Structure 1
Amino acid sequence: MIENSLTTAHGAPVGDNQNSQTAGKYGPVLIQDVHLLEKLAHFNRERVPERVVHAKGAGAHGVFKVTNDLSAYTKADFLSEVGKETPVFTRFSTVAGELGSADTLRDPRGFAVKFYTEEGNYDIVGNNTPIFFIRDAIKFPDFIHTQKRDPRTHLKNSNAVWDFWSLSPESLHQVTILMSDRGIPATFRHMHGYGSHTFLWVNAQGEQVWVKYHFRTNQGVKNLHPDVATELAGINPDYHTEDLYNAIENGDAPSWTLHVQIIPFEEGLQMKDILFDVTKTVSQKQYPLIEVGVMTLNRNPENYFAEVEQATFSPGNFVPGIEASPDKLLQGRLFAYGDAHRYRVGANSAQLPINSPKATVQNNQRDGAMRFGHDTGHINYEPNSFNNVKEQAAARVSNYDIDGSIGNYSYDDNYYSQAGDLYRLLPEDEQKRLVKNIVDALGQVSYPEIQQRQLQHFYRADQNYGQAIADGLGLSITK
């Protein structure tokens, strides 16, 4: 083989990459030109299916360094000692936007972190908001349908968005955050991140506590005015992606300090607002933030497709010492994310370099499409009499009692208190911007009954809140 020779996918040298084989100078192209056929066929298959949600995003490599000893609360090895460093890969994204959409749309931002720990990969897959619109996975497909394109017109549909929200009052808290200044971050670097759900930490003695994750940006929180965001969407729809890349490329490595709220196990089960309701926050006065460590992003991807597009994150990727809570939305995500990856990237997506753990994998799974690194031994089952690859009792999940009758349950009907509290906490100028944003969006709805239904939710959260929006729309609130 001549050095630097262009080859086919199978390694054979290519003689002409400029001209197809034809029958004579003006003749038709020949099907025997296998190099041409290979190029065209591969080109048609160069993209995996777009993510249903979080399609548009950017990513970066970095490191997480522990700054506080929390081994009293979790036996997770990557958190075991101050100074311990773990490589990470982080992906930021919009939620509803497609691959070609603008970065500066009003939308929550995905905030996903993969920790390549010595005990396997651990993923925190959250958003830049501490809560979400719904609290049960059974509503997720319906919710996302309203955020995507209308199946008939193929246009975004404000009627569907507000119809769903008005019929799902648990969304009010998140809607308030979304329509506030925080709805359009200035950059990915200038926003906080959250695990959103409640998780369970278990220490070496088997003691359990509930935790909430908070990534606090060390760049400070900055947001965009809607007019500036709209202008940027036209001038540079990749504004956030470009900003993150350039910051890291220029040595201005962004960082976030990870904190947790720790809630005693039994205390968490007795809280007035159900701890597992992801539409609600947990008081930081009652359960203050405790520092864990610092995440710094210091290296850009070398290949966007290989490292960002093919990256797969799942809240079901746990390590010993960190477990799921009964949060119903989280429980649904434990299945849905892994299933999405198996469909979108393939059954062996965990073998791709960006997803492959640093820890040794021994799971007896063989074959399947795009499998590489095949095992050669006879043994692909457990238990067996021939090797020492065994289950580890120390890695078993912890136990706690549950009780109740099988049925379809809602957490509670307290949809309004935290949304009202948030509105009253905002400075007056931010309240005015919040109201204007809602008026501009809700004013696009063409059904008065949807507007009235949503107005009543705002009014129940705070009378001034609801009345200001009604005034902006030129409507009366039906009492």
Structure 2
Amino acid sequence: MDSKQNRPAESASTLTTASGSPVADNQNSITAGPRGPVLLQDFHLIEKLQHFNRERIPERVVHAKGSGAYGTFTVTHDISQYTKARLFSSIGKQTETFLRFSTVGGERGSADTERDPRGFALRFYTEQGNWDLVGNNTPMFFIKDGIKFPDFIHTQKRDPHSNLKSPTMMWDFWSKAPESLHQVTMLFSDRGTPDGYRHMDGFGSHTFSLINEAGERVWVKWHLKTQQGIKNLLPADAVRLGGEDPDYAQRDLFDAIQRGDFPKWNVYIQVMREDEAQAWDERTGWNPFDLTKVWPHKDFPRIPVGVLELNRNPENYFEEVEQVALSPANIVPGLGFSPDRMLQARLFGYHDAQLYRVGTNHQQLPVNRPRCPVNHQQRDGAMAASGFGRQQNYATVESAGVANSGFGNGDAGWALEGTTGRFDGRGQEDDYSQAGNLFRLLPADEKDRLTSNIAGAMRSVPDEIKQRQLAHFDKADPAYGAAVRAKLNNK
């Protein structure tokens, strides 16, 4: 092998083209004489301009603006009775992680302090592959079926006529989807404007599975509780910071890690056995796989699992934070999914978004690359750098058949019943009790801010939409509707 291969042209500081050729002059274009026009042969100029024009990949449709950091997850409690996943195999075991925080509805240039849910997307680089726990800072969501997701997000973006954010679009959707009330209540509470990313909790939100060595499944919800304590911004402070320092949360996270003040979260699970799921559904009328619902802690206590610490900032924001490609479809043996309709849609939607944004070989980028051996027959496509070389690009067919190892990562699957179809539960499902419970849990001053925030956001919408939404507040708790109504009438 040539000893000069891959060696820098002159020294580590020598400027080169992307192909490695030394650049003679980075200040002056090649021209036809001192006053003449620029020549097309100036490849360094052309390459710089071409790359500059292509520096932006499509931004995420949701979660466009975000911050990220590396860290470690350390097991503190034994949950091997529930899962065979090796990252939980022993107390003290550590796994490298990457966590991306984000706002949801804003563009990349929006303010970190806007009233919005926050993405909480956590990757574990395990010895069995990447596991992505892609959630939010809330344990519930606005809708329960992914078929509504594009419509919902369109209402949170810009009106196609005015290109402005539209409260009418937002409240029109919410007022016709009472399932959203639980999350709407959380959004307009103090939790809707967290004080940076370090002072908020994280949730997997969906119902997932854990599978143990015996092939037994339990349903599970993931919780990450901040050790820094919950802190939220008052509405006026959130607006002020949005103008003074729109990157407030990014700055706070980066600076804290840079100075060695590493943020930590305690990781917990809630566990529900399959027989408990049916009994709980029959007793409460709440579908355990409904993303607009939570599992009460008194029925399903939190079980400690470990500690997450963020301790290293990325070296390059674009390469690591912007190009990280997370998907809830990325799991490892011992973990599984559930019939949660929103989760089922996200299993397709997130990976497909990364194929569009970053490319068919996005898993080969350093931030996305598994920390374990990879073996598959996927080849070619833009930016292929897998290193497979001359390896076979097709799977050998076993003429005698193969032993069935179960679905995917050893998931034995769950029993199904009924006839295929489109089942609409509206009118039979309880969309109000949990929203009312959340309202009643809030202290008086937080109730006052919640209802003031809602009234302020609804003031400009048509009366028909106001009345429709007020009826939902009334059903959750008469005091809820009365407070919002009084503030709307007090113009």
Q: Give the TM-score range, shorter chain.
A: over 0.9
Unaligned ranges ≥5, structure 1: none
Is contact 2:134-2:326 (8 Å) kept? yes
- Asked whether 1:402 is paired with 2:380, we answer no
Describe the SS at the equivalent of 2:213: coil
Q: Which residue of 2 aligns with 1:427?
A: 443
Q: Deviations over 1:75-110 (max 9, x none)?
A: 111011111000000010000011110000000000
Give the Cα–Cα distance (whole angstroms) in 1 for the partners of residues 133 and 375 of structure 2.
23
Q: Deviations over 1:343-392 (max 9, x none)?
A: 0000000110001010111011111001113322251111268xxxx999
Is contact 2:74-2:93 (8 Å) kept? yes
Is contact 2:159-2:166 (8 Å) kept? yes
- Asked whether 1:146 is paired with 2:160, we answer no
Q: Which residue of 2 aligns with 1:183?
A: 192
Matches within 5 A, 1:52-71: 52-71=61-80
Q: Which residue of 2 aligns with 1:461?
A: 476
Q: Deviations over 1:296-351 (max 9, x none)?
A: 00011110001100001101001001111000000000000000000000000011
Q: Which residue of 2 aligns with 1:221?
A: 230
1:410, distance to aligned residue in structure 2 (A) = 3.0
Aligned match of 1:437 in 453, 457, 463?
Answer: 453
Give the Cα–Cα distance (whole angstroms) in 2 for the partners of residues 377 and 409 of structure 1.
50
Give the Cα–Cα distance (whole angstroms) in 2 for the partners of residues 129 and 14 of structure 1.
51
Give the Cα–Cα distance (whole angstroms) in 1 for the partners of residues 358 and 437 of structure 2.
42
Give the Cα–Cα distance (whole angstroms) in 1 for the partners of residues 92 and 32 of structure 2.
68
Aligned match of 2:174 in 151, 158, 165?
Answer: 165
Q: Which residue of 2 aligns with 1:415?
A: 431
- Asked whether 1:261 is paired with 2:275, we answer no
1:396, distance to aligned residue in structure 2 (A) = 2.6
Q: Which residue of 1 aligns with 2:329?
A: 316
Give the Cα–Cα distance (whole angstroms) in 2 for the partners of residues 378 and 155 of structure 1.
53
Is contact 1:147-1:156 (8 Å) kept? yes
Give the Cα–Cα distance (whole angstroms) in 2 for the partners of residues 154 and 243 of structure 1.
31
Q: Deviations over 1:128-176 (max 9, x none)?
A: 0000000100000000000001111111011000000001110000000
- Asked whether 1:2 is paired with 2:3, we answer no
Give the Cα–Cα distance (whole angstroms) in 2 for the partners of residues 329 and 58 of structure 1.
25
Q: Which residue of 2 aligns with 1:472?
A: 487
Q: Deviations over 1:388-408 (max 9, x none)?
A: xx9993743213210111111
Give the Cα–Cα distance (whole angstroms) in 2 for the partners of residues 329 and 393 of structure 1.
27
Is contact 1:366-1:374 (8 Å) kept? no
Aligned match of 1:75 in 84, 89, 105?
Answer: 84
Given residue 459 of structure 1, which amino acid in structure 2 is its aligned partner?
D
Given residue 433 of structure 1, which amino acid in structure 2 is its aligned partner?
R
Describe the SS at the equivalent of 1:360: coil
Describe the SS at the equivalent of 1:393: coil
Given residue 409 of structure 1, which amino acid in structure 2 is its aligned partner?
F
Describe the SS at the equivalent of 2:41: coil
- Asked whether 1:343 is paired with 2:364, we answer no
Q: Which deviates the most, 38-47 or 376-385?
A: 376-385
Describe the SS at the equivalent of 2:484: helix
Give the Cα–Cα distance (whole angstroms) in 2 for the partners of residues 351 and 391 of structure 1.
30
Is contact 2:111-2:246 (8 Å) kept? yes
Q: Which residue of 1 aligns with 2:202?
A: 193
Q: Deviations over 1:185-215 (max 9, x none)?
A: 0110000000000001110001110000000
- Asked whether 1:393 is paired with 2:409, we answer no
Given residue 203 of structure 1, which amino acid in structure 2 is its aligned partner?
N
- Size of the alignment, in residue pairs? 470
Q: What is the identity percentage for the equivalent residue pairs of Structure 1 and Structure 2?
A: 56
Describe the SS at the equivalent of 2:198: helix
Describe the SS at the equivalent of 2:465: helix
Give the Cα–Cα distance (whole angstroms) in 2 for the partners of residues 244 and 12 of structure 1.
38
Q: Deviations over 1:28-68 (max 9, x none)?
A: 11111111111100111112110100011100000000000
Given residue 257 of structure 1, which amino acid in structure 2 is its aligned partner?
N
Describe the SS at the equivalent of 2:471: helix
Give the Cα–Cα distance (whole angstroms) in 2 for the partners of residues 7 and 406 of structure 1.
60
Give the Cα–Cα distance (whole angstroms) in 2 for the partners of residues 441 and 290 of structure 1.
38
Aligned match of 1:208 in 201, 207, 217?
Answer: 217
Given residue 353 of structure 2, which amino acid in structure 1 is its aligned partner?
A
Give the Cα–Cα distance (whole angstroms) in 2 for the partners of residues 462 and 384 of structure 1.
61
Given residue 462 of structure 1, which amino acid in structure 2 is its aligned partner?
D
Describe the SS at the equivalent of 1:371: coil
1:2, distance to aligned residue in structure 2 (A) = 2.6
Is contact 1:125-1:315 (8 Å) kept? yes
Q: Deviations over 1:400-439 (max 9, x none)?
A: 2101111111344311111011111111111111110111
Is contact 1:248-1:298 (8 Å) kept? yes
Matches within 5 A, 1:264-303: 264-272=273-281, 273-303=286-316
Aligned match of 2:466 in 434, 445, 451?
Answer: 451
Q: Which deviates the most, 174-183 or 422-431?
A: 422-431
Give the Cα–Cα distance (whole angstroms) in 1 for the partners of residues 264 and 316 of structure 2.
22
Is contact 2:84-2:333 (8 Å) kept? yes
CA RMSD of aligned residues (A): 1.4
Q: Deviations over 1:431-466 (max 9, x none)?
A: 111110111101121x11011100100011111110
Q: Which residue of 2 aligns with 1:112?
A: 121
- Asked whether 1:248 is paired with 2:257, we answer yes
1:227, distance to aligned residue in structure 2 (A) = 0.3
Is contact 2:215-2:411 (8 Å) kept? no
Is contact 1:367-1:374 (8 Å) kept? no
Is contact 2:334-2:410 (8 Å) kept? no
1:14, distance to aligned residue in structure 2 (A) = 1.2
1:230, distance to aligned residue in structure 2 (A) = 0.5
